[in-house]
């Protein structure tokens, strides 16, 4: 018969149990399968009714449970049970038969059957199978525990080998068979098969021999022995021990070199700690009771727990053996089993004969006779004390770990190389957005969470850890489901197994997104500050007055030309840069402000190593401590050399303008007034016939004086703009210049009425006026043009001539007052000016006024 359910993988990977049915009646098998299916028991199965197939399926199918009929031809159920007990005793074996007497039922159980169910009471079969499946699971857990025990044994052996005391095993005759490294050092020998008579002074051996005569049974011995060379005093403790491997009673010896008496107490404590680590595992307790609660059978574990022999337990009830409270709990559970005819599970706490508190997980099930009548109870009690305590400690540790991880915004993880899988703590799982119920990720799935640009360095870090044993610390990004990105710092350290191979990596992960963003903001702010200081030609400093340490920005060092070699700057270095003529006054102002903790704002010159001079504006603010004592000076230095030069040039230009006006008044109006004065003086004594002619001459001179006054006033006043407007004023200016100089001017005006504000129009007119005056005086041009036009993003003023030009790199022209005035007026418009000229190649001036700034001058 074939199986009804699919099977996947081998024994280790399958997740549903496998049943082997030994049954020769198909109808009864189908009935059994329906009952199990109805009870929602999932399983794979195979069935057979022959000896050959049965044995073959036990080996190849590897069933978790065997369900057999008792009566089969040729090869019956008991024969099958006997064979299974020899070949696969770990497989639970359940009889399902038509009838079975009580004696036979007990016999099947004694032979190793797990249980039996009558075919007339198949409804009980699911319960029996569930209990058997639970036993299977418990057996797997026990195997796991045994593996853990073996690992613990290996660690224990390592502990023994590296123990700070001597540990050896010897026969009752005194022959040492095994000894650890420290023991060999204490005994002064590397030999294992050596007799204690060859180690200790013969006089001291009498105490050991007297102890042996007493035939100690579990009683330890302690004595102090002198080494044969007399150089050592050795403390030796002997404990009777039954060697499980050799099945021989031996002695375990713990020795210490107590030559230096001061070390005796600490070394004895180490020995006692080592001895206390020795313990025995306690297996499950199994018992049978009748309906009245009397014990019919108990196993050896029951005897050990109760400290009673079986003869003292059988035919007695719980109330005869244990305290009343526990007996009442047990009796209550028994009654519930008998009434429900089903499995009852309880937890019970008791104190054993040693006074130790133990916790047992009790499972009680009814025993049925051949007519399906309850005749007794079978019970299994498992000592789960350590398991519960470990679970509680684990929960407490996990809670503490989670709290610590939350506080530190950090989690932990382990990567198992063979599984290619990562296991995360709760804190790490929360940070990475992993399902808290699983907390595991395949390595490839973890890489998919990481930013594509970071996957290569993550992979290299893991490979180096596995292949080269290198620890790592990397920063990387994790992609979130909402599209956002978080930054994490991951640390990993490879871990070796007992064979020295790297089998896993342990590490931590920390969310550093906020730190990363803060750092990026800080770097950006520092960069912006650096750029701003560079553009403003302003540097900053912090003077720690107590330590006389000057911390400076890059622009500060650049302005004062401090090099990289000037690492430890003091305030004296700054003072030494101040121009000798300004130093004392500047120093006085700074330290006067220091005395009163006031802010200072001064201008002074600095003398640089290349002997050049700059003018700077220095502002400082003092910071006081809790006692109102000045501790720091925060200050700025701004290079205002160009500003000073522009101001000086503007002032000088104004003075030159005043001188030009004075010359024009002197050469024009002054000369005309002098001529008038001379003509008036000539009237005295002049014949009457000539007076009228003289007055006519004086009148013409006065008219010329008035015309000259109007011309000068017109150049100085903006009244022409008010009367004519900018466009006509430009045309009038060009016409007058053409009349005076003979240069052919072409003026073009392409602006709307509101394109320039009132004050902006005045500034533009003054720029044109200054340029035209320069042309008429210096250019020697034949043609010139003035164009004012509107462009997409700015207003363009274009002025050109074909004159003799000049070298724009020539310092005399570069700092000329006419050009300086043009630049300063352009700045008031927040505009940009380009002056291009070459000798014998004419001159062009372009002024661009941005639209957003064309009226700013009016607002300011």
> Model confidence over 756-773: pLDDT tens digits?
888 888 889 889 988 998
Are 57 and 46 within 8 A, CB to CB? yes
- Looking up tokens 């005399």 gives 812
pLDDT value at residue 729: 87
**Does the pLDDT of residue 701 top 70, yes or no?**
yes
Kindly indicate whether the domain formed by 390-511 is annotated with CATH number 3.40.50.300.
Answer: no
Rounded Cα distance between 397 and 411, Å, is 14
**Does the pLDDT of residue 755 top 70, yes or no?**
yes
**Does the pLDDT of residue 537 top 90, yes or no?**
no
pLDDT value at residue 597: 83
Instruction: Identify the band that residue 280 occupies on the pLDDT scale cut at 50, 70 and 90.
Output: very low
pLDDT value at residue 184: 84
Instruction: Identify the band that residue 435 occupies on the pLDDT scale cut at 50, 70 and 90.
Output: confident
pLDDT value at residue 818: 66
Q: Is the dihedral of CA 151, 155, 160, 161 positive or negative?
A: positive
Please report, for residues 52, 465, 794, 848, the alpha-carbon distance to residue 730 in angstroms, rounded to integers and kept in the order given: 124, 82, 20, 18
Instruction: Identify the band that residue 816 occupies on the pLDDT scale cut at 50, 70 and 90.
Output: low
**Does the pLDDT of residue 860 top 60, yes or no?**
no
Higher pLDDT, 229 or 832: 832
Instruction: Identify the band that residue 276 occupies on the pLDDT scale cut at 50, 70 and 90.
Output: very low
Average pLDDT over residues 779-801: 92
Please report, for residues 477, 562, 634, 806, the alpha-carbon distance to residue 568 in angstroms, rounded to integers and kept in the order given: 39, 11, 17, 49
CATH of domain 285-383: 3.30.450.20
**Does the pLDDT of residue 278 top 50, yes or no?**
no
Are 505 and 492 within 8 A, CB to CB? yes
Question: Tell me: the pLDDT tens digits for 446-498?
Answer: 999 899 999 999 999 999 999 999 999 999 999 888 888 899 999 999 999 88
Q: What is the DSSP annotation of 2-55?
A: --SS---S-TTT--S-EEEEE-S-HHHHHHHHHHHHHTT---EEEEE-SHHHHH
Write the DSSP symbol of residue 860: -
% of the chain residues with pLDDT over 90? 18
**Does the pLDDT of residue 4 top 80, yes or no?**
no
Q: Please list, in sequence order, all residues whose beta carbon lies within 8 angstroms of the beta carbon of residue 201, skipping any fewer than 6 positions away.
A: 225, 226, 227, 228, 230
Question: Tell me: the pLDDT tens digits for 84-93?
Answer: 999 989 899 9
What's the distance, CA 807 to chain centroid?
63
Instruction: Identify the band that residue 262 occupies on the pLDDT scale cut at 50, 70 and 90.
Output: very low
Residues of the chain with CATH 3.40.50.2300: 18-143
- Looking up tokens 């005819």 gives 341
Rounded Cα distance between 651 and 666, Å, is 22
CATH of domain 162-276: 3.30.450.20
**Does the pLDDT of residue 402 top 90, yes or no?**
no
Rounded Cα distance between 807 and 819, Å, is 13
CATH-assigned architecture of domain 717-859: 2-Layer Sandwich (3.30)
Rounded Cα distance between 844 and 305, Å, is 114
pLDDT value at residue 845: 95
Which of 10-14, 180-184, 501-505, 536-540 is the least confident region? 10-14
Question: Tell me: the pLDDT tens digits for 674-698?
Answer: 767 767 777 777 887 777 777 877 7
Residues of the chain with CATH 3.30.565.10: 717-859
**Does the pLDDT of residue 154 top 90, yes or no?**
no
Are 487 and 513 within 8 A, CB to CB? yes
Question: Tell me: the pLDDT tens digits for 28-50?
Answer: 889 889 989 988 889 999 999 99
Task: Give the homologous superfamily in CATH for domain 18-143.
Answer: Response regulator (3.40.50.2300)
Mean pLDDT (the chain) is 81
Which of 235-244, 255-264, 500-509, 589-598 is the least confident region? 255-264
Question: Tell me: the pLDDT tens digits for 51-60?
Answer: 999 999 999 9
Question: 519-639 has which fold?
Answer: Beta-Lactamase (3.30.450)
653-657 own/partner pairs: CB under 8 Å, 24+ apart: 653/817, 653/818, 653/820, 653/821, 656/817
Instruction: Identify the band that residue 506 occupies on the pLDDT scale cut at 50, 70 and 90.
Output: very high
**Does the pLDDT of residue 710 top 70, yes or no?**
no
Residues of the chain with CATH 3.30.450.20: 162-276, 285-383, 390-511, 519-639
């Amino acid at each position: 018969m074939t199986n009804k359910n699919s099977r996947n993988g081998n024994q280790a990977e399958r997740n549903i149990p496998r049943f082997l049915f030994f049954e020769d009646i198909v109808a009864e098998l189908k009935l059994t399968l329906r009952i199990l299916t109805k009870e929602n028991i999932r399983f794979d199965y195979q069935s057979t009714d022959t000896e050959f197939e049965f044995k073959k399926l036990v080996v190849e199918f590897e069933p978790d449970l065997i369900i057999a009929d008792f009566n089969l031809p040729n090869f019956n159920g008991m024969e099958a049970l006997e064979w299974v007990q020899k070949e696969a005793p770990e497989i639970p074996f359940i009889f399902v038969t038509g009838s079975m007497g009580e004696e036979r039922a007990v016999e099947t159980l004694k032979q190793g059957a797990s249980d039996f169910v009558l075919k007339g009471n198949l409804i009980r079969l699911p319960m029996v199978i569930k209990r058997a499946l639970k036993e299977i699971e418990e057996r797997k857990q026990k195997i796991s525990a045994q593996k853990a025990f073996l690992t613990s044994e290996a660690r224990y052996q390592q502990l023994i080998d590296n123990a700070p005391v001597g540990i050896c095993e010897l026969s009752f005759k005194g022959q040492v068979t095994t000894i650890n490294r420290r023991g060999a050092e204490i005994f002064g020998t590397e030999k294992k098969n050596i007799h204690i008579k060859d180690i200790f002074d013969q006089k001291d051996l009498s105490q050991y021999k007297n102890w042996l005569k007493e035939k100690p049974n579990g009683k330890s011995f302690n004595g102090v022995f002198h080494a044969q060379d007399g150089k050592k005093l050795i403390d030796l403790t002997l404990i009777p021990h039954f060697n499980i491997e050799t099945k021989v009673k031996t002695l375990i010896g713990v020795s210490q070199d107590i030559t230096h008496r001061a070390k005796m107490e600490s070394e004895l404590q180490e020995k006692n700690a080592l001895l206390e680590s020795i313990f025995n595992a306690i297996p499950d307790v199994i018992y049978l009771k009748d309906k009245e609660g009397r014990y019919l059978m108990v196993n050896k574990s029951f005897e050990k727990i109760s400290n009673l022999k079986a003869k003292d337990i059988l035919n007695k009830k719980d109330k005869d053996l244990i305290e009343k409270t526990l007996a009442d709990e047990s009796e209550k559970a028994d009654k519930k089993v008998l009434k429900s005819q089903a499995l009852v599970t309880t937890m019970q706490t008791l104190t054993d004969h040693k006074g130790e508190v133990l916790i047992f997980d009790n499972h009680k099930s009814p025993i049925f006779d051949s007519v399906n009548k309850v005749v007794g109870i079978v019970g299994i009690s498992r000592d789960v004390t350590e398991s519960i305590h470990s679970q509680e400690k684990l929960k407490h540790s996990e809670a503490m770990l989670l709290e610590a991880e939350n506080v530190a915004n950090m989690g932990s993880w382990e990567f198992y190389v063979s599984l290619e899988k990562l296991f995360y703590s709760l804190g790490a799982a929360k940070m990475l957005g992993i399902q808290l119920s699983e907390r595991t990720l395949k390595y490839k799935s973890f890489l998919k969470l990481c930013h594509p640009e970071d996957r290569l360095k993550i992979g290299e870090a893991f490979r180096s850890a596995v292949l080269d044993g290198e620890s790592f610390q990397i920063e990387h990004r994790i992609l979130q489901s909402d599209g956002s990105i978080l930054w994490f710092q991951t640390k990993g350290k490879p871990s070796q197994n007992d064979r020295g191979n790297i089998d896993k990596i342990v590490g931590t992960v920390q969310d550093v997104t906020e730190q990363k963003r803060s750092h990026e903001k800080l770097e950006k702010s520092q960069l912006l500050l650096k750029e701003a200081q560079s553009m403003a030609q302003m540097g900053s400093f912090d003077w720690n007055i107590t330590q006389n340490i000057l911390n400076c920005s890059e622009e500060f060092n650049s302005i004062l030309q401090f090099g990289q070699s000037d690492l430890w700057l003091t305030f004296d270095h700054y003072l030494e840069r101040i121009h000798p003529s300004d130093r004392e006054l500047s120093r006085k102002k700074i330290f006067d402000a220091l005395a009163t903790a006031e802010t200072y704002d001064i201008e002074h010159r600095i003398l640089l190593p290349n002997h050049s001079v700059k003018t700077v504006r220095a502002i400082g603010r003092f910071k006081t401590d809790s006692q109102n004592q000045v501790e720091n000076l925060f200050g700025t230095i701004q290079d205002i050399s160009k500003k000073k030069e522009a101001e000086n040039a503007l002032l000088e230009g104004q003075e030159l303008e005043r001188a030009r006006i004075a010359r024009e008044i002197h050469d024009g109006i002054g000369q005309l007034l002098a001529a008038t004065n001379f003509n008036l003086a000539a009237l005295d004594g002049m014949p009457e016939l000539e007076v009228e002619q003289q007055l006519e001459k004086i009148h013409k001179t006065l008219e010329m004086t008035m015309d000259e006054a109007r011309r000068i006033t017109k150049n100085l006043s903006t009244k022409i703009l008010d009367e004519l407007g900018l466009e006509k004023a430009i045309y009038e200016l060009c016409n007058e210049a053409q009349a005076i100089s003979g240069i052919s001017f072409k003026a073009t005006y392409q602006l709307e009425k509101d394109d320039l504000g009132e004050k902006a129009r005045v500034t533009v007119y003054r720029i044109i006026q200054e340029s035209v005056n320069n042309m008429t005086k210096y250019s020697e041009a034949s043609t010139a043009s003035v164009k004012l036009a509107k462009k997409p993003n700015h207003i363009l003023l274009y002025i050109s001539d074909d004159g003799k030009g000049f070298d724009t790199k020539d310092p005399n022209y570069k700092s000329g007052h006419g050009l300086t005035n043009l630049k300063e007026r352009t700045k008031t418009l927040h505009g940009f000016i380009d002056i291009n000229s070459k000798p014998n190649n004419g001159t062009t001036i372009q002024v661009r006024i941005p639209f957003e700034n064309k009226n700013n001058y009016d607002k300011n």
